């Protein structure tokens, strides 16, 4: 018996032995339970991200209010709302509001929109 033949014979024997060990299979609801757990994890993850973003936003607003108050204390409103400053304030307000919104859109809404268009793609 050459090496190859012997290996094959042993392979068959070991395969048969391994086949007889632990014959039970996964329970029928395995996949359903797994997917339910994944959905729960996703939900928890998104909820915590939402809580984190909301907290950051609130802290940011509080900080802005506090800064405005400190500016008011040092300068008074009439000095802040000069025609030149109002333009600057508008600009910065827009940047500070649109940046988090763009971030949220890019991270969460955009993949969902892309997935939706992918799903309805007539070429598939």
Partner 1 sequence: MELIENSLIRQILNGATERYAELVQLHENAVFALIARIVGSCEEAEELTQDVFLKAYSNLHKFKQQSTFSTWLYRIAYNKAISQTRSRRIVQLELDESRLIKISDEELDAFEQSESSNDKIERLIRAIEALPSEERALITMVYYNNLSLQKCAEITDQSLGNVKVKLHRIRRKLYQMIKSENYG
Q: For binding to partner 1 (CB under 8 A), which residues are involved? A: 1, 3, 6, 9-11, 13-22, 24-27, 30-31, 33-35, 37-39, 41-42, 111-112, 114-115, 118-119
Write down the least CB distance from residue 114 to partner 1, Å. Answer: 6
Complex with partner 1: residue 13 or 64, whichever CB lies closer: 13
Write down the least CB distance from residue 92 to partner 1, Å. Answer: 33
81: which residues sit within 8 A by CB, 6+ positions away?
89
Complex with partner 1: residue 23 or 73, whichever CB lies closer: 23
- The structure tokens 């024997």 sit at 13
In contact, 101 and 56? CB cutoff 8 Å: no
Give exposure, 82-104, as e/b (b: 16+ Cβ within 10 Å): eeeeeeeeeeeeeeeeeeeeeee
Write down the least CB distance from residue 23 to partner 1, Å. Answer: 9
């Amino acid at each position: 018996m050459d090496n190859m033949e012997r290996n094959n014979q042993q392979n068959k024997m070991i395969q048969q032995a391994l086949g007889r060990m632990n014959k039970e299979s996964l329970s029928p609801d395995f996949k359903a339970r797994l997917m339910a757990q994944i959905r729960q994890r996703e939900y928890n993850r998104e909820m915590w991200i939402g809580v984190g973003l909301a907290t950051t936003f609130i802290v940011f607003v509080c900080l802005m209010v506090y800064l405005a108050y400190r500016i008011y204390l040092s300068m008074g409103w009439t000095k802040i709302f000069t025609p030149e400053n109002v333009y600057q304030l508008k600009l910065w307000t827009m940047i500070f509001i649109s940046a988090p919104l763009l971030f949220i859109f890019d991270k969460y809404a955009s993949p969902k929109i892309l997935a939706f268009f992918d799903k309805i793609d007539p070429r598939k």
